[in-house]
Amino acid sequence: MLYAIISNGAAIFCLIPFLFLGWKNMRKVRTWCVLGIYWLLTGLDNLAEIWVTSGSPGHHGGVVHQLSIGYSLVETPLVLLAFALARQGRIRKGLLILLLLFLTAETILIRLRGNASLLPIMGSGLGIIILYCLAGLLDYLKKMEHTRFENSMVFIYASLLFSYGSMFIIYIFTHFHFASKTGNAMDSFLLYYISLLLSAAITCAGLWSYGVRRPRPRPWSVSSGYSSSSS
Q: Per residue in 135-174, pLDDT tens?
A: 999 999 998 888 899 999 999 999 999 999 988 888 777 6
DSSP state of 1: -
Is residue 226, in this structure, part of any structural domain at all?
A: no
Q: Given this model, what pLDDT does residue 228 score?
A: 47
Q: What per-residue confidence (pLDDT) applies to 177?
A: 59
pLDDT tens-digit profile of 174-229?
666 554 454 466 777 888 899 999 999 999 999 999 976 655 555 444 445 666 44
Evaluate whether residue 153 is within a structural domain. yes
The answer to whether position 50 is within a domain reads yes
Distance (Å, whole) CA 168 – CA 162: 10
Answer whether residue 70 is part of any domain.
yes
Residue 229 placed within a domain:
no
Residue 126, classified by CB atoms within 10 Å of its CB into exposed (0-12), middle (13-18) or buried (19+), is buried
CATH of the domain at 182: 1.20.1070
3-state secondary structure string across 72-98: HHHHHHHHHHHHHHCECHHHHHHHHHH
Instruction: Check residue 215 and give its pLDDT.
Output: 55
CB 210 within 8 A of CB 152: yes
Nearest by Cα to 156 from 52, 99, 86: 86
Portion of the chain with pLDDT greater than 90, in percent: 55
User: Looking at residue 222, what is its pLDDT?
Assistant: 45
Residue 132 belongs to some domain of the structure: yes
Q: Is the dihedral of CA 8, 2, 193, 213 positive or negative?
A: positive
61 falls within a domain: yes
Among 41, 37, 44, which residue's Cα sits nearest to residue 20?
A: 37
Say if 230 falls within a structural domain.
no
Query: Would you say residue 10 has pLDDT above 80?
Result: yes
Exposure string (b/e) for 177-196, b if CB count within 10 Å is 16 or more? eeeeeeeeeeebbebbbebb
> Model's pTM, two decimal places?
0.86
Question: Which region among 9-13, 37-41, 180-184 has the lowest average model confidence (pLDDT)?
Answer: 180-184
How large is the average pLDDT for residues 7-33?
Answer: 92
- The residue ranking higher by pLDDT, 123 or 227, is 123
Q: What percent of the chain has pLDDT over 70?
A: 83
| Number of domains present in the structure of the chain | 1
CA distances from 31 to 47, 86, 124, 210, 211 (A): 24, 6, 23, 12, 13
Check residue 191 and give its pLDDT: 86
Per the structure, the complete domain to which residue 52 belongs is given by 2-211
Cα dist from 95 to 147, 179, 229, whole Å: 21, 38, 17
Mean pLDDT over 50-68 rounds to: 74
